[in-house]
Structure 1
């Protein structure tokens, strides 16, 4: 592990650490401590307080990801379904890494997490902002007997699973925005990115990437190009452990995947409709260079978006369009 990350792990408790204590723990010089602290502040965008003669302290304590703590917090069924939990301190993209492992033959139930992503991706190639310790960046691999074409509704089922997990840790008013976003009072709280591949007639695999804004400082969120909110705000100060949230998400996703493999999207449609954040509202549908204005008329049983264009209902499949309210 790089030295500046070792320093952050010591400072994560929010207590003040003297340069001498850090140097002793890591077996390095005081000058090396100072350089590591500066690198952590600059490259990880962490606010580290430094007072001469008193040492260093993180302005906001961090609960770092812990694979064993996550496993321990899973339900018994979840622990049986999880093949491996891999935690990176810094990675380009958890989805990219896990998709590579899927192609290499890793089993379903493999999970990848990262403290920080420096090339996280959202839908349509957008960047997903994922600062060190401020988000949950989670990817989960699952293998299906079905063909890839039969997994068209998986993103909607995954959205329901993530919404239920967030509700389980105390969130309210979580809404779903077709096809892959989760909102709270019109601000983005979480998003999904799915990658699916396989043989034309099956089998297939899917990597489900989940990004949740957990606790973001304004400086960390400057690159976000849309209204956003973090879970800390949604919970209004209620403390909830980061590893517990991760375990709750994993349990919900694994339960959803087992059900989807057996029954498809059908068991999730009504739950999705109950959380539809844009039902009945005027919307703008963007398809590359083309735009359509209409009224959101819900989803079909197969997960397609229904758009009312002046009395004519047209259907659009996930992956082809993005959806934004004309009123914001």
Structure 2
């Protein structure tokens, strides 16, 4: 995205009509070039652009673009102290990839990367994370630890538990956690985490936490997602929440959680996780590569591993992907 495209989106982000003449004057384009550039920008970034005779151009849906000043102002003093940098990109390949690069260059704990759009956003197991412009939250956060990477085995559970609690405090009922790092609403994916770790085998190490949260994504924008999904606006039954305020709330919780995890480990976060466990007591299927293990979900162990009651007894697993067992297999 070039500066002119961004300026045009910022101009139209309020959802109000803006005359072509005024836009042309302000950005230094001819009226014909304004239309051509607007059309190209809308098509490239999946925005619905309306042209109204006698009134001008507007976006069908207003956008609240990310604003570093508003985010910082919403943080507490402690949150601002933990935050070392806050970068906002209109378009980036991957917020996680950017922070891993900065970490390798020596960036300190508390670095945050946000984007309006990702062109190569990633989920777990190499999946694409669908990242339309300006409607969701794509956030990555860097934190450094003095210990070995092996001590971060429970970090995804700690972070997921804290995020579930943040969303619950927004009066969203039914937020649930799917081991090890998905947040669900009505059994549909609301958010996902991607944690990446690097460092020396005995320490120190650094962790990049990537969060993708569906906020106002439409069915069309999410059509490429290959599993049931939900948006935060849907979970709030249409109540609007300020995107910058939401980001600040998420950062506040994440910064505190990563700091606390370094001092206390997973233990203080386990009660929260268990309170939001989506599949406790239910039949599930665990996929580990080509291997399929079925059992009754028996919660998580003190180290964060998944417990399954199987025909061979209770077993603990530290990797894999949980999915509900299809009902028809119950009768086969």
Superposition TM-score tier, normalisation by shorter sequence: over 0.9
Q: Is the 8 A contact 1:164 1:252 kept in 2?
A: no
SS of corresponding position for 2:32: helix
Quick check: 1:326 aligned with 2:296? no
Aligned length in residues = 326
How much does 1:311 deviate?
Answer: 5.6
| Structure 1 match to 2:213 | 212
Match of 1:23 in 2: 24
Paired position in structure 1 for 2:260: 259
Query: Shift in Å at residue 163 of structure 1?
Result: 1.1
* Counterpart Cα distance in 1 of 2:100 and 2:57: 39
Matches of 2:218 and 2:64, distance apart in 1: 15
Equivalent residues in 2 for 1:91-130, closer than 5 Å: 91-130=92-131
User: Are 1:79 and 2:69 an aligned pair?
Assistant: no
Q: Is the CA contact 1:49–1:58 (under 8 Å) kept in the aligned structure 2?
A: yes
- Which residue of structure 1 aligns with residue 330 of structure 2? none
Residues 169 and 240 in structure 1, CA contact (< 8 A), matched pair in contact too = no
Question: What is the SS of the residue equivalent to 2:302?
Answer: coil
Partners in 1 of 2:67 and 2:294 — Cα distance? 46
Give secondary structure in 2 for the equivalent of 1:170.
coil
1:59: how far off? Answer: 0.9
What secondary structure does 1:140 align onto? strand
1:315 has 2:316 as partner = yes
- Given that residues 285 and 322 in structure 2 are in contact (C-alpha distance below 8 angstroms), is that contact kept between their aligned partners in structure 1? yes
SS of the residue 2:195 aligns to: strand
Q: Give the Cα–Cα distance (whole angstroms) in 1 for the partners of residues 170 and 73 of structure 2.
A: 17
SS in 1 for 2:57: strand
Aligned mates of 1:216, 1:25 — CA distance in 2: 30
- The answer on whether the counterparts of 1:285 and 1:291 sit within 8 Å (CA) in structure 2 is yes
The separation in 1 between residues aligned to 2:44 and 2:80, in whole angstroms, is 35
Aligned to 2:273: 272
2:165/2:272 contact within 8 Å kept? no
- Counterpart for residue 151 of structure 2: 150
Q: Deviations over 1:184-205 (max 9, x none)?
A: 0101000000001111111110
Which residue pairs with 1:55 in the alignment?
Answer: 56
Q: Tell me the equivalent position of 2:239.
A: 238
SS of the counterpart of 2:91? coil
Give 3-state SS (helix, strand or coil) of 2:293's partner. Answer: strand
Distance 2:272 2:115 in 1: 29
Offset, 1:282 = 0.8
TM-score by length of 2: 0.96
Q: Does 1:281 align with 2:309?
A: no
- C-alpha spacing 1:311/1:280, structure 2 compared with 1 (3 Å): farther
Checking the alignment, whether the CA contact within 8 Å between 2:162 and 2:272 is kept in structure 1 is no
| Residues 273-328 of structure 1: CA deviation (Å, up to 9, x unaligned) | 110001011111111111111111110000000111126111111xx311111138
1:143-182 alignment, distance < 5 Å = 143-182=144-183
Would you say the 8 A contact 2:71–2:245 is kept in 1?
Answer: yes
Contact persistence 1:175–1:277 (CA under 8 A): yes
Answer with 67-76 or 306-315: which moved more: 306-315
Q: Secondary structure at 2:5's aligned position in 1?
A: helix
Q: Per-residue CA shift, 1:95-136, capped at 9, x if unaligned? A: 001110001100100000000011100000001111001110
- Say if 2:191 is the partner of 1:186: no
- Gaps in structure 1 of 5+ consecutive residues: none
1:225 alignment counterpart: 226
Structure 1 runs, 4 residues or longer, greater than 6 Å off: none
Conserved? CA contact 2:198–2:206, under 8 Å: yes
| Secondary structure of 1:233's aligned partner | helix
1:138-158 per-position Cα deviation (integer Å, ceiling 9, x unaligned): 000001111101011001001
CA distance in 2, matches of 1:262, 1:193: 22
